[in-house]
Each structure stands twice: as structure tokens, then as C-alpha cells.
């Protein structure tokens, strides 16, 4: 591996600092394993900005595509029989706002539209 240039080092330091600031704001302990598995850190090192809110998760991993308003195909969706949360791709962070029209609310406050025919979910733009 080649050595990083001073510009690359500056970029990495800035992005890691931003990642640490975000984690500190949420009072999250940060260690080596966190850095190795962080979707947010990878996003920052790719030059992408953090989203204003954490994106929904699919199978325990942040779905930046959903958070950015892209169509995402859902593998599984089910709801608790007692009227509890809606579980989408193993994430119980959802509630129906209007089931007949496929409108869901995520725990981060964002609204999404689900199309059962295509099994696609997309973020509803803020009004």
C-alpha cells in the first residue's frame, strides 16, 4: 500500500473527526470495532455527507438508499397481531399511518410509501 498524501490524510482526519462528533452527540461509546463496522464512517470516507436523521435499517444495517429517497425493494414485511410495530426487513421501527394507502412512519419521523405489488418502499418528501 502506498503512503497517503497530506491531502488524503487531512481528508481522513476530518471525516473521522466528524464521525466521532456524531457518535459523541448521541453518547455512544466508540472503539476500534465501531470504526471497522461503521456504515456512517464508510459513507464519510467516500465523501458523502451524513443524513440529517439516521436512515432506516434493513437487516441491522443502515439503508442510506431509503434515507436518500430512492426506491428500495423490501424482502419481508409483517406486523404484530396485537397491533404492535410493523417489521420491515427485521427492523421493528415502523408503524402504519394509513395501511390502506401504504403509508408508514419510521421511528426517525420520516414517512414512507409502500407498494405491496412491487414490494418497494420510498421516502415521502417533506411537505
Number of domains within the chain: 2
Q: Do 70 and 125 sit in the same domain of this protein?
A: yes
For residue 39, being part of any structural domain is answered with: yes
Structural domain span for residue 36: 6-50
Q: Is residue 67 part of a domain?
A: yes
- What tens digit of pLDDT does each residue of 3-50 get? 988 899 899 999 999 999 999 998 988 888 888 889 999 999 999 999
pTM of the model: 0.80
Would residue 60 count as lying in a domain?
yes
> Residue 35: inside a domain, yes or no?
yes
25 and 60 co-located in one domain: no
- 72 & 32 share domain: no
pLDDT in tens, 111-125: 999 999 999 999 999
Write phi, then psi, for 124 (nearest 5 degrees): -90, 125
Residue 35 and residue 67 in one domain: no
Q: Is residue 1 included in any domain, yes or no? A: no
Looking at the structure, tell me whether residues 125 and 63 fall in a common domain: yes
Residues 35 and 89 in one domain: no
Beta-carbon count within 10 A of 22 CB: 17
Please check whether residue 69 is in contact with residue 124, taking contact to mean a CB–CB distance below 8 angstroms. no
Give a yes or no: residue 76 inside a domain. yes
Is 107 found in the same domain as 120? Answer: yes
Amino acid at each position: 500500500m502506498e503512503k497517503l498524501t497530506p491531502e488524503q490524510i487531512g481528508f481522513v482526519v476530518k471525516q473521522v473527526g466528524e464521525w466521532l462528533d456524531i457518535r459523541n452527540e448521541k453518547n455512544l461509546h466508540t472503539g476500534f470495532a465501531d470504526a471497522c463496522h461503521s456504515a456512517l464512517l464508510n459513507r464519510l470516507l467516500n465523501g458523502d455527507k451524513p443524513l440529517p436523521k439516521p436512515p432506516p435499517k434493513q437487516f441491522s444495517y443502515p439503508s442510506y438508499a431509503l434515507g436518500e429517497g430512492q426506491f428500495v425493494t423490501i424482502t419481508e414485511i409483517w406486523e404484530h397481531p396485537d397491533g404492535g410495530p410493523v417489521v420491515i426487513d427485521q427492523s421493528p421501527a415502523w408503524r402504519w399511518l394509513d395501511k390502506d394507502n401504504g403509508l408508514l412512519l419510521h421511528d426517525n419521523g420520516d414517512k414512507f410509501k409502500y407498494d405491496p405489488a412491487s414490494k418497494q418502499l420510498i421516502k415521502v418528501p417533506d411537505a
